[in-house]
Structure 1
Amino acid sequence: MVMQSLYIKSVTWEAPHILSYELRPLESVELPPFTAGAHIDLVLPNGLTRSYSLVNSQNERHRYVVSVQKDRASRGGSQWIHENLRSGDVVTVDGPRNHFALDETAEKTIFIAAGIGITPIMSMIDRMKVLKRDWELIYCARTREGAAFRESLEKEPRARFNFDGEPGGRLIDIAALVRDAPSNAHLYCCGPTPVLAAFQEATEGLPQERVHLEYFAAQEPPATEGGFTVMLAKSGRKLTVLPGKTILETLRESGFDVPYSCGQGVCGTCDTTVLEGVPDHRDLILTTKERASNNRMMICCSGSKTDSLVLDL
């Protein structure tokens, strides 16, 4: 990945507790390309690294735009960004990466976005329009005032809204949406965990290649049972992962500067090649097939089902 310093050209209010940050290079150079659905990591001065989806067009090489929702349960990332980052500030950016890629060959694409889950969908919609492909959006939010990008999306005839917190509103029936979708449609969903859980349940019987989703938070706690060893193939070091520790914590406490961001297995920053052993996968990045191959793991949250693992580190 490419680590670089970008300056904040502007900060835009999108909705209550949601701000967009336009990032540009310090010199007149093109930024690394990205594809719709990608994210970047903001490496913050307070020592935290946080991942945010790129909302602008993938055709733009002069800027990155991310939207950040101030989380009520913030662990210091979104709250720090909202309270400290201003126009003119310089931030360190890692990426971009894409674990929520758009299948541009689909005959029909249906996007289901809930709350801040609209962010990766914005770049996907732009791409669909460029390619002149068939798409539709169902955007769910508590209220219309709380829906980021609502004004621009209201101009899209293929977008419809569901505000369940308003008088007469009710929760979207995801099962019905999936059931009524054409058999050739690819389905994308991003939003809070309950929405994604309902989407997963509704799409359980569909071909895996037609189902796409992205989590913002973990579904289960990281593996901290410990009691196994990790052999680092490149350095020759052998480390013991003690109970109460993750592999990532063990590596960092032993002096290894390995990249990480979310700490929950949802961003893919710590994706590591496994040479030997069977991981205890706890991430939300790898597909069922990728997990079964056991040649990759997210070391921030996943553990080991075998007495030892050999990692390509």
Structure 2
Amino acid sequence: MPQTNAPASSGSCPIDHSALRAPNGCPISHQAAAFDPFEDGYQQDPPEYVRWSRAQEPVFYSPKLGYWVVTRYDDIKAIFRDNITFSPSIALEKITPTGEAANAVLASYGYAMNRTLVNEDEPAHMPRRRALMEPFTPAELAHHEPMVRKLTREYVDRFIDTGRADLVDEMLWEVPLTVALHFLGVPEEDMDLLRQYSIAHTVNTWGRPKPEEQVAVAHAVGNFWQLAGRILDKMREDPSGPGWMQYGLRKQRELPEVVTDSYLHSMMMAGIVAAHETTANASANAIKLLLQHPDVWREICEDPALIPNAVEECLRHNGSVAAWRRLVTRDTEVGGMSLAAGSKLLIVTSSANHDEHHFADADLFDIHRDNASDQLTFGYGSHQCMGKNLARMEMQIFLEELTSRLPHMRLAGQRFTYVPNTSFRGPEHLWVEWDPARNPERTDPTVLAPRDAVRIGEPTGGTTGRTLIVERVETAAQGVSRIRLVSPDGRALPRWSPGSHIDIECGHTGISRQYSLCGDPADTSAFEIAVLREPESRGGSAWIHASLRAGDKLKVRGPRNHFRLDETCRRAIFIAGGIGVTPVSAMARRAKELGVDYTFHYCGRSRASMAMIDELRALHGDRVRIHAADEGQRADLAQVLGAPDANTQIYACGPARMIEALEALCATWPEDSLRVEHFSSKLGTLDPSREQPFAVELKDSGLTLEVPPDQTLLATLRAANIDVQSDCEEGLCGSCEVRVLAGEIDHRDVVLTRGERDANNRMMACCSRAAKGGKIVLGL
């Protein structure tokens, strides 16, 4: 038989081959043979349980489960992208077949769970999804926020003065269930019974109930099925209510062939489970994780603006969906492994969320992570969870209320247990304790004042900021301040690469500005920037020079790098104009470390206005050339560059006039020889009177949207419930980059190089548009 990537270490297969029916299944490694998602190790920490797989055997066959298991990010996202080759049809199939007695019980209740949004194939799935999507959009979900806030406060009121609570039993189960029923339009009755039914449904579908338990589970599932039918029948008498199920009944009148009776009955039952169980578990996981990191808990207590991204990082690091399932419909390949049609896949999304190839320091719990929302807990593509933004809203509100009312809350001693199953996980109990005498609201009634509405949808870059302390501010040259920023608790700061910048929120001005990092990238104890006092400052540099002092606190985002040094280049020319020396100096330092052949040309009005001259001379010696205009040493850029050379890269940062001159001179050089850094741009300014509408097809999500002339592509995507990261929204930072599959782009950013634009395979959603109002196709 064909071999897997990782044969058994002993040279022999540890299982009975006669019982093996999977293609490619021999030899199977000892670790693959031992894999059992119902073991406590998987239940406690799925990513850790399959760490060996991510490192050694990212696609393996599990003889105990009868499934191929996939554990890496890129492989899993590719599976989500292709729901034709990888059918979702088995997503709700019982992972543990039940016996005749249990099946007879289900039949006696008329149980006939059919296709839902979760497990339906095309071409039926997308018409139904499109028909039923509107109530899940951010604009519609905003109507539910006051109810979620009021409900959360009422439940906290019940235990705020007790000093000890099981948050799962006393809040985190009932509030999401009530919200789910409200959203669906279901009467809030028999909540304890619905909780039992929901758990039974999870065990029946994704668990391994013992033979003696299967009959009891079947009775609960059958009763759940009949209850869902009765509720739906009552709704049919008057479908004018505000709930999603009533919305579905009204859509059924418009589209009877799309929204069918059997579909609505299945969705009623599945919706009650999906709309609350995953949120309840995700919330419990998040609070547990935050309290296990008291420094992070304190940070969000002190700065609630961090909560949206903290939610994303909690979903990434310890989400409520451990794994999902797919069926291979044709012979294909995943992660270098050949899979035959009919193979069943367990795709461990929680493992993907800890993949070092996609998330730097993936095991680190970092609420400032700028790609935390790349997490696959909600899935991806056309079957991504439609309720994701309802869950995000609830989790944000839970954390806002608990951090403001119980900032002194801590975990009580306990052992965490989980309902054994492959896919959904959250602690069955979450005991916390606190001193009621220290409750802030006892002395500060403003704690209970009305709050601003939470942002519904994926968080913006503004929610990833970390608070740093200004260690020192010193004059580096005429009009230039050099600033050293450190962590308040002395912890190491994120690693950064030459060319990186950080975003700084300039006090209470509402202004955010980007500044390149200088200094030594190997020094993780601090970030250093140099800021020029611009005569026509837009507010950032003026505020820094007038207001910033040692000891001040700053909100900082990043580092982020879209001006990278190609460390494989053979020769480099570094050109800095004025304050553009900051990113270029870090690049030149790295080039020296790598042994690259380089020269460094530093241009300025006068030596007195040029920062870092002595430092650069000490580090680079004769390789650095100072071009001070007042000494008659203006740089002859044509002479600096010389003849075009395919082995030379040019890195430049400085005034627009200098960059434009270099771009003209490099027109005859090999493509992308010149790489530049920008800090301002007006290319993306939207003028509705001159814009054209255009169509955008989202290949992975199965949607086609119209972008009007007065709206950016980014705004249109958000309104349609599509996640896209963003930060500056000026075409400067590159965080909203999306993949282009077809169509011509009118690029208006200053991030992409000439060659990258010509390749036409990516664009910035915040500013760029379809050329001439045409249609574009995106990998979203």
TM-score normalised according to structure 2 size? 0.36
* Distance in 1, Cα, partners of 2:714 & 2:477: 36
CA spacing shift, 1:237–1:304, aligned 2, 3 Å = closer
In structure 2, the partner of 1:259 is 726
Secondary structure, aligned partner of 1:19: strand
Does residue 102 of the first structure (1) align with residue 102 of the second (2)?
no
Does residue 162 of the first structure (1) align with residue 624 of the second (2)?
no
**C-alpha deviation, 1:199, in angstroms:** 0.9
Does residue 16 of the first structure (1) align with residue 483 of the second (2)?
no
Instruction: Flag structure 1 segments of 5+ consecutive residues without an equivalent.
Output: none
1:197 to 656, 660, 670: 660
Does residue 268 of the first structure (1) align with residue 734 of the second (2)?
yes
In structure 2, the partner of 1:78 is 541
Larger radius of gyration: 2
Does residue 53 of the first structure (1) align with residue 53 of the second (2)?
no
**C-alpha deviation, 1:128, in angstroms:** 2.2
1:42 to 493, 497, 504: 504
Does residue 125 of the first structure (1) align with residue 588 of the second (2)?
yes
Q: Which moved more, 1:300-309 or 1:121-130?
A: 300-309
**C-alpha deviation, 1:287, in angstroms:** 2.3
Equivalent AA in structure 2 for residue 301 of structure 1: C
Does residue 25 of the first structure (1) align with residue 492 of the second (2)?
no
CA spacing shift, 1:108–1:289, aligned 2, 3 Å = closer
Equivalent AA in structure 2 for residue 84 of structure 1: S
Does residue 285 of the first structure (1) align with residue 747 of the second (2)?
no
Greater helix percent: which structure? Answer: 2
**C-alpha deviation, 1:26, in angstroms:** 1.9
State the percentage of identical aligned residues: 34
Equivalent AA in structure 2 for residue 157 of structure 1: D
Secondary structure, aligned partner of 2:680: coil
Secondary structure, aligned partner of 1:154: helix
In structure 1, the partner of 2:240 is none
* Distance in 2, Cα, partners of 1:173 & 1:287: 24
1:66-104, Cα deviation, whole Å (9 max, x unpaired): 111122222122212222222112212211111111122
Equivalent AA in structure 2 for residue 23 of structure 1: L
Equivalent AA in structure 2 for residue 16 of structure 1: Q
CA spacing shift, 1:246–1:14, aligned 2, 3 Å = farther
In structure 2, the partner of 1:216 is 679
**C-alpha deviation, 1:175, in angstroms:** 1.2
Q: Which moved more, 1:109-118 or 1:172-181?
A: 172-181
CA spacing shift, 1:162–1:262, aligned 2, 3 Å = farther
* Distance in 1, Cα, partners of 2:514 & 2:717: 21
**C-alpha deviation, 1:58, in angstroms:** 1.4
Does residue 301 of the first structure (1) align with residue 763 of the second (2)?
no
* Distance in 2, Cα, partners of 1:253 & 1:193: 36
* Distance in 2, Cα, partners of 1:257 & 1:77: 27
Secondary structure, aligned partner of 1:92: strand
* Distance in 2, Cα, partners of 1:254 & 1:212: 35
CA contact (8 A) 2:501 2:560 kept: yes
* Distance in 2, Cα, partners of 1:47 & 1:254: 28
* Distance in 2, Cα, partners of 1:116 & 1:222: 25
Taking the TM superposition and a 5 Å limit, the aligned residue runs for 1:218-257 are: 218=681, 220=683, 222-224=685-687, 225-228=690-693, 240-243=707-710, 246-247=712-713
Instruction: Tell me the number of residue pairs that the alignment of Structure 1 and Structure 2 aligns.
Output: 309
CA contact (8 A) 1:223 1:302 kept: no
CA spacing shift, 1:215–1:239, aligned 2, 3 Å = same
* Distance in 1, Cα, partners of 2:768 & 2:645: 36
CA spacing shift, 1:47–1:218, aligned 2, 3 Å = same
**C-alpha deviation, 1:248, in angstroms:** 5.9
CA contact (8 A) 2:729 2:767 kept: no
CA spacing shift, 1:159–1:101, aligned 2, 3 Å = same
Secondary structure, aligned partner of 2:726: coil
2:550 to 87, 103, 108: 87
Secondary structure, aligned partner of 1:57: coil
Greater strand percent: which structure? Answer: 1
CA spacing shift, 1:240–1:101, aligned 2, 3 Å = closer
CA contact (8 A) 2:671 2:755 kept: no
Equivalent AA in structure 2 for residue 24 of structure 1: V
Secondary structure, aligned partner of 1:72: coil
Equivalent AA in structure 2 for residue 163 of structure 1: A
RMSD: 3.2
Structure with the bigger RCO (C-alpha within 8 Å, sep 6+) is 1
**C-alpha deviation, 1:10, in angstroms:** 1.0
**C-alpha deviation, 1:22, in angstroms:** 0.9
* Distance in 2, Cα, partners of 1:87 & 1:28: 16
Secondary structure, aligned partner of 2:608: coil
Taking the TM superposition and a 5 Å limit, the aligned residue runs for 1:174-189 are: 174-179=637-642, 184-189=647-652
CA spacing shift, 1:220–1:25, aligned 2, 3 Å = same
CA spacing shift, 1:139–1:274, aligned 2, 3 Å = same
**C-alpha deviation, 1:226, in angstroms:** 3.1
**C-alpha deviation, 1:110, in angstroms:** 1.5
Secondary structure, aligned partner of 2:609: coil
* Distance in 2, Cα, partners of 1:16 & 1:161: 16
CA spacing shift, 1:108–1:82, aligned 2, 3 Å = same
* Distance in 2, Cα, partners of 1:287 & 1:278: 16
**C-alpha deviation, 1:273, in angstroms:** 4.4
CA contact (8 A) 2:499 2:587 kept: yes
**C-alpha deviation, 1:217, in angstroms:** 3.1
**C-alpha deviation, 1:118, in angstroms:** 0.6
* Distance in 2, Cα, partners of 1:227 & 1:186: 38
Secondary structure, aligned partner of 1:26: coil
Taking the TM superposition and a 5 Å limit, the aligned residue runs for 1:126-141 are: 126-141=589-604
Secondary structure, aligned partner of 1:5: strand
Equivalent AA in structure 2 for residue 31 of structure 1: L
CA spacing shift, 1:8–1:159, aligned 2, 3 Å = same
